C-alpha cells in the first residue's frame, strides 16, 4: 500500500501497470455507490427474513410477515365480489325499463353481461351474438323462444334440450332419415317451405312440387310451424316466412333440415350464475339489437305525429 504510486494530476493511486508510458488509475468506487451497494445487501437479508424467499424441498421459507400472493388474490377477488354484490342485488330485481332508466345500473348490466357472454356464450353464438350455422344469431330480431327480457332470461335459466326439468324442449322429427316421408315427399315439402318464405324470390320454387308439398306440410308441419308458416314460439318452432335459416338458406340446406330435423343444445345456466348475473346476461343479449318489450306489445295506435316514416313498409320497432 505504502509504495503504491500516486498520479500527480488526480492524486489517485495507479494500478502499477504501465503500457507504453500510459498508466492506469485505480479509482475507487464512489462512496455513495458503495454505501448503496452495502445497503442493498442489508435490505436483501432483511427481505429473506420477512418475505417468502428460499425454496426448500417442496416448500419454501414463508417469511415472518406471512405474505402470500395467493391469499392476497383470494382476498382481492372476495373484496371485488362483495363490492359488486349490491349492484347484482339491484339488478336481480330490476326490469328492462328500470335498468334502462338508471344509467349506473345499465352501465353495470352491460359490462357484466358482456364479460359473462364473452366467457361462456361467445364460443357458440359468436362475438356480439353473430351466430353460426346451428347456433342462433342473437343480434337479429328473430327469436325461437321469445325475445323479451323475461323470455331470454328464462331460456338462459332452463337451457334448450338441456338437463333442466323445465328445459325448453322441441324436437323436429327427422322426416327423411326416419323414413316418415319419402325422399320425393321431402323434396316437395322443401319446395313448399321455400314458396311460403321470403326466399321464394331468390330460390324460385318448383310450383308443381310446392303444390304437392302443401298437403304434406299441413299434415306434418303445420302443428308446430303454423298453417301459414309463421312459427310458434311456445313450442320453439321458428317462423318459415322470413329468409333467415338456422341451418343455412340454400335449397340443399333447407332440404337437409327437413330430412334430419336437427336441434342444438344449450346448457341450463341457472345453477352456474346467480340471479343478478343472469339478468345482466339477458339484458346484454336483449340489447344486441333485437330485444322485444316485456309486456305484450300494446296495440299500435298511430299517434298524430307519426314516428319516423317506416322504410320498405316495415314498422318501427316498438319502444322498449
Partner 1 sequence: MAKVTLIDTKARANEHAIDARAVNSKEARALYKKREQIYPKLAHGFFRNLKWAAMIVLLGIYYVTPWLRWDRGDGRVDQAVLIDFEGRRFYFFFVELWPQEVYYITGLLILAAFAIFLSSALFGRVWCGYACPQTVWTDLYIYVERAIEGDRNARMKLDAASWSWRKAAKKIAKHAIWILIAAATGGAWVFYFGDAPTLFRNIFTGQADPVVYLFIGLLTLTTYALAGTMREQVCTYMCPWPRIQAAMIDKDALSVTYRGDRGEPRGPHKKGDSWEGRGDCIDCRQCVAVCPQGIDIRDGDQLECINCALCIDACDDVMKKVGRPLGLIAYDSYANLDRRKQGNPDRYKLIRPRTILYGVLMAVVAAFMIYGLATRQTLALNVIRDRSPPFVRLADGTVRNDYALKLINMTDRARRLQIEVEGPTGVHLLAPALVLDGEVVAEAHADSVMNVRIHVVAPANIGAGSHRLRFTIRDIASGDVAVSDSAFLAGSTP
Contact between 312 and 198 under an 8 Å Cβ cutoff? The reply is no
Closest separation in Å from C-beta 163 to partner 1: 30
Instruction: Report if residue 8 touches partner 1, rule: CB under 8 A.
Output: yes
Backbone region of residue 289 per phi and psi (left: phi > 0; alpha: psi in -120 to 50; beta: other values): left
Q: Nearer Cβ to partner 1, position 167 or 200?
A: 200
**114 or 274: whose CB is closer to partner 1?**
114
Angle between helices 183-195 and 251-260 (to 10 degrees): 120
The correct pick among 6, 62, 81, 272 for binding partner 1 (CB under 8 A) is: 6
Q: Is 100 in the site for partner 1 (CB under 8 A)?
A: yes
246-305 positions binding partner 1, by CB under 8 A: 248-250, 287-290, 305
Residues in the chain: 320
Closest approach, Cβ 279 to partner 1, in A, equals 18
Q: What angle do CA 61, 67, 72 make, to 5 degrees?
A: 135
Quick one: 176 or 249, whose CB is closer to partner 1? 249
Cα 310 from Cα 320, distance rounded (Å): 17
Q: Which span (10-18, 157-165, 212-220, 221-229) binds partner 1, by CB under 8 A?
A: 10-18
Q: Is 140 in the site for partner 1 (CB under 8 A)?
A: yes
Beta bridge mates, 18: 23
Q: Between residues 8 and 82, which has the closer beta carbon with respect to partner 1?
A: 8
Nearest alpha carbon to residue 186 among 135, 160, 221: 221
Q: How far is CA 52 from CA 44, 45, 49, 58, in A?
A: 12, 12, 8, 14
Nearest distance from residue 165's CB to partner 1, in Å? 32
Q: Confirm if 241 and 197 have CB atoms less than 8 A apart.
A: yes
Nearer of residues 240 and 278 to partner 1, judged by Cβ: 240
Q: Do the beta carbons of residue 12 and residue 26 sit within 8 Å?
A: yes
Q: What is the helix (H) or strand (E) element at residue 56, kind and residue range?
A: strand 55-56
Cell numbers of 163, please? Answer: 338437463
Q: How far is the CB of 139 from partner 1 (least distance, A)?
A: 5
5 touches partner 1 by CB under 8 A: yes
Say whether residue 211 binds partner 1 (CB under 8 A).
no
Question: How far is residue 66's CA from residue 77's CA, in Å, rounded to a whole number?
Answer: 19
| Shortest spacing between CB 141 and partner 1, in angstroms | 5
Q: Is 112 in the site for partner 1 (CB under 8 A)?
A: no
Question: Smallest distance from the beta carbon of 259 to partner 1, in angstroms?
Answer: 19
15 counts as binding partner 1 under rule CB under 8 A: no
Select from 139, 150, 169, 174 the one that contacts partner 1 (CB under 8 A).
Answer: 139
CA separation for the pair 127, 174 (Å, rounded): 31
Report which of 119, 95, 120, 121 is spatially closest to residue 109, judged by C-alpha positions.
95
**Which position among 26, 114, 243, 294 is part of the footprint of partner 1 (CB under 8 A)?**
243
Count Cβ atoms within 10 A of the Cβ of residue 138 and give its class: 0-12 exposed, 13-18 middle, 19 or more buried.
Answer: buried
Site membership for partner 1, residue 130 (CB under 8 A): yes
CA distance 175 to 183: 9
Binding mask 170-209 for partner 1 (x = CB under 8 A): ----------------------------xx--x-------
Which residues contact partner 1 by CB under 8 A? 2-12, 100, 126-131, 137, 139-142, 198-199, 202, 239, 242-245, 248-250, 287-290, 305-308, 311-312, 314, 316-320
Amino acid at each position: 500500500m505504502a509504495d503504491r504510486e500516486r498520479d500527480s494530476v488526480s492524486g489517485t493511486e495507479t494500478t502499477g501497470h504501465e503500457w507504453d508510458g500510459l498508466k492506469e488509475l485505480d479509482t475507487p468506487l464512489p462512496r455513495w455507490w458503495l454505501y448503496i451497494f452495502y445497503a442493498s445487501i442489508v435490505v436483501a437479508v432483511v427481505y429473506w427474513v420477512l418475505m417468502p424467499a428460499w425454496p426448500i424441498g417442496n416448500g419454501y421459507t414463508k417469511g415472518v410477515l406471512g405474505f402470500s400472493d395467493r391469499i392476497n388474490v383470494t382476498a382481492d377477488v372476495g373484496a371485488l365480489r362483495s363490492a359488486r354484490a349490491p349492484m347484482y342485488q339491484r339488478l336481480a330485481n330490476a326490469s328492462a325499463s328500470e335498468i334502462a332508466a338508471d344509467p349506473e345500473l345499465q352501465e353495470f348490466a352491460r359490462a357484466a353481461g358482456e364479460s359473462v357472454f364473452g366467457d361462456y356464450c361467445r364460443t357458440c353464438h359468436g362475438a356480439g351474438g353473430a351466430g353460426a350455422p346451428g347456433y342462433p344469431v342473437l343480434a337479429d330480431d328473430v327469436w325461437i323462444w321469445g325475445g323479451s327480457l323475461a323470455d331470454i332470461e328464462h331460456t338462459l335459466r332452463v337451457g334448450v334440450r338441456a338437463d333442466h326439468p323445465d328445459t325448453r324442449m322441441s324436437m323436429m322429427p327427422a322426416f327423411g332419415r326416419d323414413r316418415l316421408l319419402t325422399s320425393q315427399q321431402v323434396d316437395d315439402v322443401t319446395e313448399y317451405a321455400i314458396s311460403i318464405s321470403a326466399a321464394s324470390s331468390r330460390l324460385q320454387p318448383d310450383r308443381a312440387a310446392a303444390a304437392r308439398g302443401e298437403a304434406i306440410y299441413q299434415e306434418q308441419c303445420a302443428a308446430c310451424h303454423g298453417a301459414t308458416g309463421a312459427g310458434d314460439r311456445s313450442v320453439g318452432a321458428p317462423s318459415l316466412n322470413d329468409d333467415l335459416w338456422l341451418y343455412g338458406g340454400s335449397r340443399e340446406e333447407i332440404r337437409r333440415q327437413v330430412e334430419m330435423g336437427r336441434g342444438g343444445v344449450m346448457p341450463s345456466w341457472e345453477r352456474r350464475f346467480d340471479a343478478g348475473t343472469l339478468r345482466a346476461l339477458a339484458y346484454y343479449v336483449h340489447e344486441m339489437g333485437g330485444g322485444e318489450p316485456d309486456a305484450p306489445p300494446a296495440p299500435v295506435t298511430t299517434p298524430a305525429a307519426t314516428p319516423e316514416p317506416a322504410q320498405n313498409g316495415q314498422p318501427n320497432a316498438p319502444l322498449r
